[in-house]
């Protein structure tokens, strides 16, 4: 059973400062590419952090911190948190609740996700994200559906599924005019190659998913600008020896692929295989696909029906998985400690790779970041706290 861990309280350190600066020496630092033990974080008087060598002979006092420091996690598929579901109430207040819930577990930036719903609900979601464009941690909008395959809808409502249309295009155009980051999950069979090209040319991240597309249909969509896949394996047909399909096209491509790492959505053996099989490195990224149960109650309503947390799984009235109950921090820990994936690679999957996909590289770096953006994990990679909470 996957349990959402509560942040571990830390003893506070009476830090010694000089000229408003503070030098911090963690056991390890993730610099955006690898874990390093030879770095010191210099917190300047304005709260910005600079990475420097640990050979600091002219520094009188260094605060030693037991654990791993990195930038906060970047989650590109977040449906809810703190008891709030974006589909249910798509407002700026809901976004504030959701990002607040996920910050408690080390995630500093999210792409709030609206799954298949009525056209007017998408309009409301777009307006909420525009209103929240200056809200710290809200990156934009992930539109997951309604332009998907009915028989690969998962927990999405069949009532609202439809081919790509001018109505959605107009909403996306409005978001892009406001310089809002947009990711849209589309099934290749629900949109024409030209429509995919139009979205890609607008700077939209076109992610393929919830689809029965053939291998060739998928390759064609990629050639027209699709650059990502939504929760690889889930809501996709199984691998068949003479019918490679969308999963094989995804794994063989140079596209980015999101994956849910709770151990329920994808078997760990398949997950490790997909990571190893990619033709280029740093193309797999972790998503939580999390729901209101993160820092919230163990049930919620979706499409007017109850979704209940049972033995780590979120199950709707049809018996289908309806999102996930796991944080990015828990996924990072289990990938390292249970799946045996090299820690630097896991940190890249949780921070660097999603940041690169959305062209927000600064999210993976520590240099020049505010100390409030940095998090601390234990030496065994369990999430502990924001770094600034240790130093207060």
The DSSP bridge partners found for residue 302 are 305
Report yes or no: 112 and 141 within 8 Å, Cβ to Cβ.
Answer: yes
Dihedral pair phi/psi, residue 341, rounded to 5°: -80, 140
Return d(Cα 138, Cα 95) in angstroms, integer. 8
Task: State the DSSP string of 116-164.
Answer: S--HHHHHHHHHHHHHTTTSTTB-EEEEE-SSS-GGG-TTS-GGG----
Dihedral pair phi/psi, residue 259, rounded to 5°: -150, 140
Write the Ramachandran bin of 339: left for phi over 0, alpha for psi from -120 to 50, otherwise beta: alpha
| Catalytic residue list contains 301 | no
Dihedral pair phi/psi, residue 125, rounded to 5°: -65, -45
Tokens of 340: 């045996």
Rg (CA), the chain: 21
> Which of the following is catalytic: 31, 262, 289, 373?
289
Return d(Cα 20, Cα 129) in angstroms, integer. 37
Helices 193-201 & 166-177 angle (0-180, nearest 10): 10
Return d(Cα 350, Cα 327) in angstroms, integer. 11
Alpha helices in 144-230 (DSSP H): 166-177, 193-201, 215-223
Task: State the DSSP string of 246-304.
Answer: HHHHHHHSSSEEEEE-SSSSS-HHHHHHHHHH-SSSS-EEEE--B-TTTTS-SEEEETT
Q: Which residues are catalytic?
A: 289
């Amino acid at each position: 059973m996957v349990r959402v861990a509560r942040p571990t309280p830390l003893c506070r350190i009476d830090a010694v400062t000089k000229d408003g600066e503070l030098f911090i020496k963690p056991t390890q630092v993730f610099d955006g590419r690898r874990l390093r033990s030879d770095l010191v974080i210099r917190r300047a008087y304005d709260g910005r952090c600079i990475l420097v060598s640990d050979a600091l002979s002219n520094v009188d006092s260094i605060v030693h911190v037991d654990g791993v420091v990195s930038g906060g996690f970047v989650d590109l598929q977040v449906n809810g948190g703190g008891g709030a579901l974006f589909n249910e109430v798509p407002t700026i207040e809901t976004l504030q609740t959701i990002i607040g819930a996920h910050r408690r577990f080390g995630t500093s930036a999210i792409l709030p996700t609206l799954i298949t719903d009525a056209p007017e609900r998408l309009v409301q979601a777009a307006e909420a994200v525009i209103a929240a464009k200056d809200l710290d941690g809200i990156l934009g909008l992930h539109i997951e559906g309604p332009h998907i395959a009915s028989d690969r809808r998962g927990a999405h409502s069949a009532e609202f599924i439809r081919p790509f249309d001018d109505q959605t295009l107009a909403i996306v155009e409005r978001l892009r005019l406001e310089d809002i980051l947009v990711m849209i999950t589309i099934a290749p069979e629900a949109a024409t190659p030209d429509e995919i090209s139009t979205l890609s040319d607008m700077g939209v991240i076109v992610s393929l998913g919830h689809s029965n597309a053939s291998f060739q249909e998928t390759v064609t969509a990629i050639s027209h600008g699709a650059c990502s896949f939504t929760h690889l394996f889930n809501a996709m047909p199984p691998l068949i020896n003479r019918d490679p399909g969308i999963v094989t096209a995804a794994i063989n491509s140079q596209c980015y692929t999101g994956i849910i790492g709770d151990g329920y959505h994808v078997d760990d053996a398949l997950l490790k295989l997909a990571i190893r099989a990619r033709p280029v490195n740093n193309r797999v990224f972790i998503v939580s696909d999390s729901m209101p149960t993160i820092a919230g109650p163990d049930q919620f309503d979706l499409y007017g029906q109850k979704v209940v947390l049972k033995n780590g799984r979120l199950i709707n009235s049809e018996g289908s998985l309806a999102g996930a109950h796991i944080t990015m921090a828990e996924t990072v820990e289990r990938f390292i400690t249970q799946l045996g994936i090299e820690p630097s690679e896991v940190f890249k999957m949780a921070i660097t790779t999603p940041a690169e996909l959305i062209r927000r590289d600064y999210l993976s770096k520590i240099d020049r970041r505010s100390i409030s953006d940095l998090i601390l994990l234990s030496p065994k990679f369990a999430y502990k706290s924001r770094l600034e909470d240790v130093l207060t």
